[in-house]
Amino acid sequence: MAHSGAPPAAQPEEAQTPKFKLEKLTDRAYCLYGQGGNVGFLVTDTGVVVVDDEFEEVAQGIVDQIRSVTDRPIRYLVNTHYHGDHTGGNPVFVKFAEFIAHETVRPRLLDYPETIRRSFPDRRKQIEAEIAGLKDPADPYRLALENDLGLLDFFLKTAEAFKVKPAAPPGLTYEGQVRLWLGGEEVDVFHVAPGHTDGDSIVYFPKEKVVHMGDLFVNGRYPFIDDLAGGSARGFVTNIDRVLSMVPSDTKVIPGHGSTADVAALRHFRAFMSDLIDQVRKATQSGMSKPDAVRFIKMDQYPEIKPLSRTLGNDVATVYDEIKTGR
């Protein structure tokens, strides 16, 4: 979620009835657009590897879409991180696939809902109180806080639903990197540093020259930095730099949300994150308060990046906290 995370209510174009668009990237690699995070999958002669599974309600639809191009068994599913729009289909995929994720994804799926249920209602009250003191409905800082409320509600809803669902956490967790070899293909699943969350995986199909970034890259929209779950704006840059250093320049890039892209677009998004951090750092150095940083930082040089589940103000506020606390 999140960042998408997002509160479904804040993503009208993604909250419709399940409708899929399948994009063939190479002979064997696909991107499937649906209702949550983008699904990537690789078809090999001995089985299919899937990256992310959106929501439970649409998971069977994902399977059907995969079935439309291959009858090979779906053997592995990677959860790029714990958010509900990337792991929601786990209760369906668990029936036939082995799940792979960074080791922190398991506790985020199993234990974090309880933390959310316990702590988010108070956090919600604090934000509501802060909003009550801001009279201008067009104040970017107020809008950012309202967005935070929507996001907290999405997390709470997911956490509450978790109680009644069979947990389907990853059964195979790793710390730095795990490689799969099947059907003559190699699949590299690796973690670089906390970025979108503390447990992000990047999935690379080297033979196909296709990489799935999870929500470390969202195309054309402001990212969600899940700082409450260990995310870090600087970590986005670290992660993207690692990918840029290892993939050929004609690699196809699947973002967590938005259209598939090329390496140049990934580099452009990295520049946005880096510039954002620089601008917020300057604001903190000049003694500007967080609300004023949210009001004044514009990032006009990136007009194609737009609000969707998060506003620019949310990212400014999160980066501000990150710099101030020295995380």
Residues in contact with Zn ion by CB under 5 A are 2-3, 5, 83, 215
For residues 175 and 177, what is the distance between their CA atoms, to the nearest angstrom? 6
**Judged by CB, which is closer to Zn ion: 108, or 142?**
108
Q: How far is the CB of 6 from Zn ion (least distance, A)?
A: 8
Helices then strands, each counted (H, E), the chain? 10, 13
Q: What DSSP letter does each residue of 256-273 carry, written as one string?
A: SBS--EEHHHHHHHHHHH
**Judged by CB, which is closer to Zn ion: 69, or 193?**
193
**Judged by CB, which is closer to Zn ion: 82, or 204?**
82
For residues 246 and 23, what is the distance between their CA atoms, to the nearest angstrom? 24
**Judged by CB, which is closer to Zn ion: 65, or 87?**
87
Across-strand partners of 221?
306
Q: How far is the CB of 1 from Zn ion (least distance, A)?
A: 5
Q: Say if residues 106 and 175 touch (Cβ distance below 8 Å).
A: no
Number of CB atoms found within 10 A of residue 228's CB: 17
Q: How far is the CB of 214 from Zn ion (least distance, A)?
A: 7
What CA–CA distances, in Å, run from 234 to 22, 222, 242, 270, 319?
32, 15, 13, 10, 9
Q: How far is the CB of 223 from Zn ion (least distance, A)?
A: 9
Beta-strand relationship, 252-254 and 210-212:
parallel
Across-strand partners of 39?
32
**Amino acid letter, residue 287:** G
**Judged by CB, which is closer to Zn ion: 211, or 283?**
211
Q: How far is the CB of 211 from Zn ion (least distance, A)?
A: 17
**122: Cβ–Cβ under 8 A, 6 or more apart, which residues?**
none
> How many residues are listed for the chain in this entry?
327
Q: How far is the CB of 38 from Zn ion (least distance, A)?
A: 11
**Judged by CB, which is closer to Zn ion: 5, or 195?**
5
Q: How far is the CB of 318 from Zn ion (least distance, A)?
A: 14
| Residues 302, 304, 307, 311, Cα dihedral to 10° | 0
CB half-sphere exposure, 68, CA atoms < 13 A: 13
**Judged by CB, which is closer to Zn ion: 43, or 319?**
319
